Amino acid sequence: MGKLKFRIIDDSETLELFIQKVENYTDVRLPKNYVLNGTVVGAFLHEKLVAGYMLVTRPNFRSLMFVPDSIIKSHEFFQKDQFEFMEVNGLWVGPGVKTPRLQFSFWINVMKTYFFAKRITSY
């Protein structure tokens, strides 16, 4: 079958492909400036982009847009400095990631990226 190869996507053509894939699988088009604010990781099988995700380690986090203002103002979690937060977004897995071994490899890589990421404490 093959082995997934992971790499950071930083060229504009592959970033656009990543954005299109996110939109295809989620019906949400991520703004390019938001994508450029994060680290985009692609999973490639036989040189074809088959899955991906992005890690955002500094504000502005899109996931917070969906939390009601009343909760943000009242819950202690949201009183923390946003530079202590991280967000995984734009996550999609295409049909090319078929086998349990490939799926396991993908999810392990997502977790490793998250756990070994350095949080930005200031600009």
- Please give the model's pTM, rounded to 2 decimal places: 0.84
The reply to whether 68 falls in a domain is: yes
Residue-wise pLDDT tens digits, 22-57: 999 999 999 999 999 899 999 999 999 999 999 998
What whole-number distance in Å separates Cα of residue 15 and Cα of residue 52?
10
Which ranges constitute the DSSP H helices of the chain?
Answer: 12-26, 32-36, 69-74, 100-116
Task: Give a yes or no: residue 123 inside a domain.
Answer: no
16 part of a folded domain = yes
Rounded to whole angstroms, how far apart are CA atoms 91 and 73?
28
Counted domains in the chain:
1
The average pLDDT across 16-20 equals: 97
Per-residue pLDDT band for 123 (boundaries 50, 70, 90) equals very low
CB 35 within 8 A of CB 19: yes
Give 4 or 62, the one with higher predicted confidence: 4
Task: Residue 10: give the domain boundaries.
Answer: 5-116
The answer to whether 103 touches 116, Cβ cutoff 8 Å, is: no
Instruction: Give the confidence band of 121 by pLDDT, cuts at 50, 70, 90.
Output: very low
In a domain, 20, yes or no: yes
pLDDT in tens, 75-100: 887 777 777 778 999 999 999 999 99
Is 51 inside any structural domain? yes
Is 122 domain-assigned? no
**Looking at residue 43, what is its pLDDT?**
98
What is the average per-residue pLDDT within 54-69?
82
The verdict on residue 121 lying in a domain is no
CATH of the domain at 101: 3.40.630.30
